[in-house]
Structure 1
């Protein structure tokens, strides 16, 4: 297992693995506190994309599906335990592609959890266009409650914005290879005030699985999971990971508002 790709304290005796993928411009560090929520029962591994944070010297990824393929190959050593994929915003689409690749390999994930991420057939995943000015992108992020206060520092902003802009381009150019539903259970998490991925849009993920679908809505906007909802999110995650995925039932939908 490459420590460049998967960041977090190793818990080889944990009964389950949670692999968390960050949003555009984000790094594995956004999930650094999550291991403490799960203790030794779940191994939390946050994905570090190339060109981000500790991998700043590497070329930035330019294609969601290619990036998902690399992540899938990196996950092979942890596939002996039930594995849950969690992706926020851009990370949700990449997680979807990883889930599809794992199914094709005959090693499906236990579940896919997408957060604040419109479905693969959505025309656009982010209102902050990559060709906007730096100030426009920063303003848009602040309007969505973006967690990265480093953008307030002019020097750090010059380092971080090219990474963010590259991720935005990757999201804008994304086209799914297929919109056929997965056999993997899917849960869609979102904020009730998220204008990028509103509850109605998150509910459309129901059409992307032939298995069980759950739709959970939390108080907050696009970055709800980094504010007061964080405890609620990890509590729900812990409950999901502590129980086996339920048997599929036609038309299954569970909403928590």
Structure 2
């Protein structure tokens, strides 16, 4: 199986029993999942490359989550031939939800389960420290993420990605769904014990969007970057073949 889609960094394996599509959060590219394994017991983890960053830097960032979801679905449609799921953290949890909504509306295969981390439901009023931040403050947030990935921030790259982060924030500000459609697939809402950005109890609104399981793992807001075994285990279990 070969791929020329810009949405994925590598060709999906034709032997995969399941696939986890991992969507980067605001202001970041697919390298935020650099610590994640490519494969675990037949299930592959595929980092999604979004327009406007890394290998797609010259492309326009979609204005809305609806536009982003339509394009993403078209880009990965050939690889929805085995059980799959989407994982989204914070900003990208809303993107993942909109992807699932559009898959349902189009009568296309639905995720085995949708995973949303550190993000209130789409019907909630959007809040968060970054909304009113200055460019300098946004740069500081990006530097934190880079350090969490184990790298040293490069000033010029941070300056460039501030614009990406600002554009992503604007996309989220345009997305508010007062009466969110219920998904045909179940949802797992992931909270983190030491998350000071989004407390686990602030995620209860996802129950409106479908049959929802709530789990809380140890760690801070960006703990997912470290590929926590407990998170990988639930993602894997959602799409792994069931024992006969």
TM (norm. structure 2) is 0.87
2:113 paired residue number: 111
1:232 paired residue number: 230
Taking a change above 3 Å as real, the CA distance of residues 54 and 126 of structure 1, as seen in their structure-2 partners, is farther
TM (norm. structure 1) is 0.83
Q: Which runs of 4+ in 1 moved over 3 A?
A: 138-152
Q: Structure 1 residue 183: deviation in Å? A: 1.6
Secondary structure of the 2:86 match is strand
8 Å Cα contact 1:90/1:125 also seen in 2 = no
Correspondences of 1:70-81 after superposition (within 5 Å): 70-81=71-82
**Residue deviations 1:57-95, cap 9 Å, x none?**
111222111101111122221122111111111111000
Find the aligned partners of 1:33 and 1:241 in 2 and give their Cα distance: 20
8 Å Cα contact 1:125/1:171 also seen in 2 = no
Taking a change above 3 Å as real, the CA distance of residues 3 and 74 of structure 1, as seen in their structure-2 partners, is closer
1:248 paired residue number: none
Q: Structure 1 residue 177: deviation in Å? A: 7.9
2:220 paired residue number: 221
Q: Structure 1 residue 44: deviation in Å? A: 2.1
Find the aligned partners of 2:136 and 2:179 in 1 and give their Cα distance: 36
Q: Would you say how many aligned residue pairs link Structure 1 and Structure 2?
A: 239
Q: Which runs of 5+ in 2 are unaligned?
A: none
Secondary structure of the 2:129 match is coil
Find the aligned partners of 2:176 and 2:122 in 1 and give their Cα distance: 7
Q: Structure 1 residue 197: deviation in Å? A: 2.1
8 Å Cα contact 2:49/2:56 also seen in 1 = yes
8 Å Cα contact 2:139/2:159 also seen in 1 = no
8 Å Cα contact 2:124/2:178 also seen in 1 = no
1:163 paired residue number: 164
Q: Structure 1 residue 146: deviation in Å? A: 7.2
1:27 aligns with 2:40: no
Taking a change above 3 Å as real, the CA distance of residues 150 and 178 of structure 1, as seen in their structure-2 partners, is farther
Correspondences of 1:233-248 after superposition (within 5 Å): 233-242=231-240
8 Å Cα contact 1:128/1:141 also seen in 2 = no
Q: Structure 1 residue 16: deviation in Å? A: 0.9
Find the aligned partners of 1:73 and 1:56 in 2 and give their Cα distance: 19
Q: Structure 1 residue 141: deviation in Å? A: 5.6
1:62 paired residue number: 63
1:136 aligns with 2:137: yes
**Residue deviations 1:183-236, cap 9 Å, x none?**
211001121222332111223212210x4x221111222212124x62221123
Report the aligned-residue RMSD: 2.5
Q: Which runs of 5+ in 1 are unaligned?
A: 245-257
Tell me which of the two structures has the higher relative contact order, counting C-alpha pairs closer than 8 angstroms and 6 or more residues apart. Answer: 2
Find the aligned partners of 2:158 and 2:47 in 1 and give their Cα distance: 23
Correspondences of 1:10-21 after superposition (within 5 Å): 10-21=12-23
Taking a change above 3 Å as real, the CA distance of residues 37 and 125 of structure 1, as seen in their structure-2 partners, is farther
Taking a change above 3 Å as real, the CA distance of residues 233 and 70 of structure 1, as seen in their structure-2 partners, is same
